[in-house]
Amino acid sequence: MAATKKVLGTVLAGGEGKRLMPLTLDRAKPAVPFGGQYRLIDFALSNLINSGLRQIVVLTQYKSHSLDRHISTLWRLSGMLNSYVTSIPAQQRLGKRWYLGSADAILQNLNLVRDERPDYIVVVGADHVYRMDFEQMIEAHIASGAECTVAAIRQPISLANQFGVIDVDPARPTAIREFLEKPSDPTGLPDAPDEVLASMGNYVFTTEALVEAVLADGGNEDSKHDMGGDIVPYFVERGTAGVYDMKDNEVPGSTPRDRYYWRDVGTIESYFDAHQDLISVLPIFNLYNDAWPIYSRQDNMPPAKFTRDARGTLSTVIDSIVSLGSVISGAHIERSVLGARTVVESGALLTDSIVFDHARIAAGATVRRAIIDKNVVVEPGAAIGVEPEADRRRGFVVTDTGITVVGKGVRVTRD
């Protein structure tokens, strides 16, 4: 496929991520750390690179400095002819306005399409956690003759009201009959009545058709200029929209437990739950698949270190991920994910939590069911996540399910 057809990868990375506040207070949603050493965008870019794509543009907009820096320092395809991953900031090419939606982001960057002249364009989101071989999807798109193909993953019909749902034609199971936004009473699949196909936010387009679609959408004042809400229905009405079922995607090295894993981490709860999926003995999502690696930064740091404290108390770490450069001294850590250069001191208790880079959990501190952003210091004897109402009074975000979130650079004092 790659030798005969030219494909441009386009990553939509302008999301504001309001539902992830305060983690997105001064960073774009795709730049939010994940899994200790990754950023959310690393999953989309790793999937595209592993699928053989070598021309990839990342369309950024909202507070993109850390995201742009991450892409420029990590995602360099040196030594490959006409191979690149590059971030493209919003440039107001069509007037004094920013992107009005994901389709408008494509419209405002059609110069990139004219420069590369690809046969097909793969458009993906930048804030989902999953593995996928896009080459297989591209081949299915070409074979089908569709102008637009939407990647979809099977979900229980009871969860249909949380997704954009694809209603397929029983006579043509790969053809989209209707695109339903969070339906309350959808029809199940012909081969699985208790399941629906939920859009993954990943698309393959025949280039000429996509250009025509976004140009038409740009002139429609009633449009929200959204890929899923406006562009896909455009192709459905033309009868040229197809669906690619994720169950047909075979990723090397995947296990039966994580083969069809996909999670939208757009809320604090889903972000937290996705981390819990990483840490069991047989993880629901396996970071250790060498056949389909998730690429990330390669900082020059020492290994993580686990020591006794001055009194000889052992460090205990259970069902957890601890990143490079971290030092754990006589503390207890359980069901947690720690970023690089994290320090957890003597007698500290850290359970069911996510800790970002350069945080320090001081001696005797307690952190439970919390997300701790980078450069946070939890002072000796302080507690986070123990009393949600007390956390709210101190100005911390606490979700309905009791997850406390501490923003970047905060010092948490002992009451």
pLDDT of residue 100: 81
**11 has pLDDT over 70:** yes
- DSSP, res 315: P
Lowest mean pLDDT among 11-20, 310-319, 325-334, 373-382: 11-20
**323 has pLDDT over 70:** yes
- pLDDT more than 70, % of the chain: 97
Rounded Cα gap, residues 201 and 216, in angstroms: 21
CA dihedral for 139, 117, 87, 84, sign (positive or negative): positive
Tokens 């200790």: give the residue.
Answer: 36
59-78: average pLDDT:
82
Question: What predicted TM-score, i.e. pTM, was given to this entire model?
Answer: 0.92
Phi, psi of 127 (to 5 degrees): -140, 35
Is 80 or 19 the better-scoring residue by pLDDT?
19
pLDDT of residue 180: 87
**66 has pLDDT over 50:** yes
Can you name the residues that pair with 73 across neighbouring β-strands? none
Rounded Cα gap, residues 316 and 324, in angstroms: 17
Is 75 or 48 the better-scoring residue by pLDDT?
48
Phi-psi region of 362 (alpha: psi -120 to 50; beta: other; left: phi over 0): beta
> Within 13 Å of residue 336, how many CA atoms lie on the same side as its CB?
28
Angle at 253 between CA 250 and CA 257, to 5 degrees: 80
Nearest to 122 by CA among 188, 50, 37, 182: 50
Beta strands in 286-415 (DSSP E): 305-307, 316-318, 321-322, 327-329, 332-334, 337-338, 343-344, 349-351, 354-355, 360-361, 366-368, 370-372, 377-378, 383-384, 397-398, 404-406, 411-412
Pairing of strands 38-39, 148-156: unpaired
Phi, psi of 309 (to 5 degrees): -90, -175
Return the top range by mean pLDDT from 133-142, 215-224, 255-264, 273-282. Answer: 133-142
**184 has pLDDT over 50:** yes
pLDDT of residue 213: 95
Q: How confident is the model at residue 386 (pLDDT cuts 50, 70, 90)?
A: very high
Angle at 376 between CA 374 and CA 378, to 5 degrees: 145
Tell me: the pLDDT tens digits for 394-412? 999 999 999 999 999 999 9
The three-state secondary structure class of 297 is: coil
Contact between 129 and 200 under an 8 Å Cβ cutoff? The reply is: no
Contact between 178 and 236 under an 8 Å Cβ cutoff? The reply is: yes
Rounded Cα gap, residues 140 and 37, in angstroms: 34
Rounded Cα gap, residues 227 and 241, in angstroms: 13
How do the domains of the chain map onto residue ranges? 7-276, 305-412
Lowest mean pLDDT among 44-58, 79-93, 364-378: 79-93
**337 has pLDDT over 80:** yes
pLDDT of residue 81: 65
User: In whole numbers, what is the pLDDT of the chain averaged over residues?
Assistant: 91
In total, the chain counts a number of residues equal to 415
Rounded Cα gap, residues 233 and 243, in angstroms: 13
301-329: average pLDDT:
93
Class of domain 305-412: mainly beta
**295 has pLDDT over 60:** yes
Q: Which residues are annotated as a binding site?
A: 99, 164, 181-182, 199
Domain 7-276 identical in fold to domain 305-412: no
The three-state secondary structure class of 132 is: coil
Phi-psi region of 369 (alpha: psi -120 to 50; beta: other; left: phi over 0): left
22-41: average pLDDT:
92
Tell me: the pLDDT tens digits for 359-380? 999 999 999 999 999 999 999 9
Lowest mean pLDDT among 71-85, 244-258, 264-278: 71-85
Is 38 or 192 the better-scoring residue by pLDDT?
38
Q: Which residues are annotated as a binding site for alpha-D-glucose 1-phosphate?
A: 99, 164, 181-182, 199
CATH superfamily of 7-276: Spore Coat Polysaccharide Biosynthesis Protein SpsA; Chain A (3.90.550.10)
pLDDT of residue 2: 45
280-284: average pLDDT:
86
